Amino acid sequence: MKKRFGSDLQDKLVVVTGASKGIGFGLAKIIAQEGARVAVASRDVHSLQELARQIRADGGTCEAFALDLRDVASIRTCFARIEEEMGPIDVLVNNAGMGNPIPAEDLTEHDWDWMMDLNLKGTFFCCQAAGKSMLARKKGRIVNISSQASVVAIPHEAVYCASKGGVNMLTKTLAVEWSGRGVTVNAVGPTFVRTPGTAERLDNPEFLAGVLANIPRGRVATIEDVASAVLYLASDGADMVTGTLLLVDGGWTAV
């Protein structure tokens, strides 16, 4: 794949959380192709090691780190290890997150805490762990992966929508606090993205038709679509962009 934004990320250290599968797996590979050194983190270290092997085979630099987003101690340990082994973090891509369609009347406290801890609490403490180092150097980029579901309601996704709405406000608040000290904070909000994890639903013609009926562009997103937005917000060209949500939704939220 050709570079999308020149050499902005050449030799910079980019951390991608939740990189063991899906969007994160693809993002890490594309970011490495931009010349960045990549640190990938998740609970599934085996999958991360395979990702790192693939990136190295393509001539890139990648190291894998264990990370449990629901455990603040694990977050702090992980980021300390990344900086100790690979150096200062230039860009954090907070990709880790999950959704689990459940009718609102059937949601349990466990369901709520499980998704909120991963999608919102984990995102904040990753921002904090990377942000402290960035603030000390007065330079850094944070890109949080939100969702179109942060601004439009999706049935049976009460917790997911609420948590991603929280990510949007967290992004704005951190941008207000940190941008004057050299750290920009933004979010990317994709529509449905075709990955191995979403294939079962998107391969259902009825479900896909319902999705496409809401997307003026006429198709679901790809990982490359999401990566283009992430690369822009991580680039030098986005120096004046902070506190924003960049929707990659094919026009869903414009209707």
Domains identified in the chain and CATH numbers: 13-193+222-247 (3.40.50.720)
Q: Residues with catalytic annotation? A: 160
The pLDDT, as a whole number, for residue 234 is 97
Each residue of 14-28: b (16+ CB within 10 Å) or e?
A: bbbbbbbbbbbbbbb
Q: What's the mean pLDDT in 103-114? A: 95
Mean pLDDT across the chain? 94
What local confidence, expressed as pLDDT, does residue 96 receive?
84
Kindly give, in sequence order, each residue whose CB lies less than 8 Å from that of residue 198, ignoring residues fewer than 6 positions away.
22, 192
Q: What angle do CA 180, 189, 93 make, to 5 degrees?
A: 55
Element (H, E) at 215: none
pTM of structure: 0.95
